[in-house]
């Protein structure tokens, strides 16, 4: 299998990025600089007309959407246990993955990119302010799960859910949410980041885990 992952530093693409490193497979990482608008170039739009990362190219197949990318990788590399292998644990993991992707992630987008939802500046400002406490509620839900992690969200082996928890907690820092106020998630995220394979993805993206800056 010939794999190529289009990713952006600090973006949600970290989830498949970390999983590819953890799986130990050869893949070509291709960096897309979102702040430079590289996702809107003609070449990139030919690959993904939605102009977003991540994109996984597996041979001739172009796959978008984190959930589909993870399920594709999981099916190809069962030994990597990107998601729990089976039974109710897998069902619960898919439920959490869907919620992280379809609810928590877009809640942050309302704070980070309100221009995607309204071109009215006052509406954008209100949207940002409204999104922060909603986002904190989402992180609090993850905190309850992290407090029961043993030692990972889904048992003995780290999975894509731990990678998503890292991304979402990290983003909270930009929204003024101090990650250390969610101590179980912060502990989980630091342990996950310290795994040697995950550390490779973190280094490639040059990620700082705690981006929270107290209001001056």
Ligand X SMILES: N[C@@H](CCC(=O)N[C@@H](CS)C(=O)NCC(=O)O)C(=O)O
Contact positions vs ligand X (CB under 6 A)? 11-12, 34, 39, 51-54, 65-66, 101
CA–CA dist 124, 120 (Å, integer): 6
Closest separation between CB of residue 17 and ligand X, Å? Answer: 12
| Closer by beta carbon to ligand X, 83 or else 149 | 83
Q: Return the bridge partners of 64, or none.
A: 55
Closest separation between CB of residue 183 and ligand X, Å? Answer: 25
CA–CA dist 146, 180 (Å, integer): 13
Question: Which residue's entry shows tokens 């949207």?
Answer: 127
| Closer by beta carbon to ligand X, 89 or else 101 | 101
CA–CA dist 57, 53 (Å, integer): 12
Q: E strands, the chain, where?
A: 3-7, 28-31, 55-58, 61-64
Closest separation between CB of residue 54 and ligand X, Å? Answer: 6
| Closer by beta carbon to ligand X, 45 or else 147 | 45
Closest separation between CB of residue 66 and ligand X, Å? Answer: 4
Q: Return the bridge partners of 155, or none.
A: 152
| Closer by beta carbon to ligand X, 54 or else 179 | 54
| Closer by beta carbon to ligand X, 53 or else 146 | 53
Q: Tell me the residue nearest to ligand X as measured from the CB.
A: 52
| Closer by beta carbon to ligand X, 53 or else 139 | 53
Question: What are the structure tokens assigned to 88, written together?
Answer: 């109710």
Q: Name the maximum alpha-carbon separation found in the chain.
A: 50
Q: If DSSP states are collapsed to H, E and C, what string results for 129-170?
A: HHHHHHHHHHHHHHHHHHHCCCCECCECCCCHHHHHHHHHHH
Closest separation between CB of residue 205 and ligand X, Å? Answer: 12
Closest separation between CB of residue 18 and ligand X, Å? Answer: 14
Closest CA to 27 of 46, 8, 1, 7: 1
């Amino acid at each position: 299998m010939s794999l190529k992952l289009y990713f952006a530093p600090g973006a949600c693409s970290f989830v498949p990025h970390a999983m590819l490193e953890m799986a130990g497979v050869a893949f070509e990482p291709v960096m897309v600089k979102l702040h430079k608008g590289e996702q809107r170039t003609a070449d990139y739009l030919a690959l993904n007309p939605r102009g977003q990362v991540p994109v996984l190219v597996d041979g001739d197949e172009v796959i978008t959407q984190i959930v589909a990318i993870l399920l594709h990788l999981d099916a190809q590399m069962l030994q990597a246990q990107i998601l729990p292998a089976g039974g109710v644990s897998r069902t619960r993991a898919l439920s959490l993955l869907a919620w992280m992707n379809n609810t928590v992630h877009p809640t942050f987008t309302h704070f980070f990119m309100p221009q995607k939802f309204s071109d009215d500046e006052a509406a954008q400002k209100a949207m940002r302010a409204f999104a922060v406490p909603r986002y904190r509620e989402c992180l609090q839900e993850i905190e309850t799960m992290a407090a029961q992690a043993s030692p990972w969200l889904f048992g003995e082996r780290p999975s894509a859910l731990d990678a998503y928890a890292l991304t979402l907690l990290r983003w909270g820092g930009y929204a003024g949410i101090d990650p250390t106020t969610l101590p179980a998630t912060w502990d989980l995220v630091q342990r996950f980041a310290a795994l040697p394979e995950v550390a490779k993805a973190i280094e490639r993206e040059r990620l700082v885990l705690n981006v929270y800056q107290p209001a001056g």
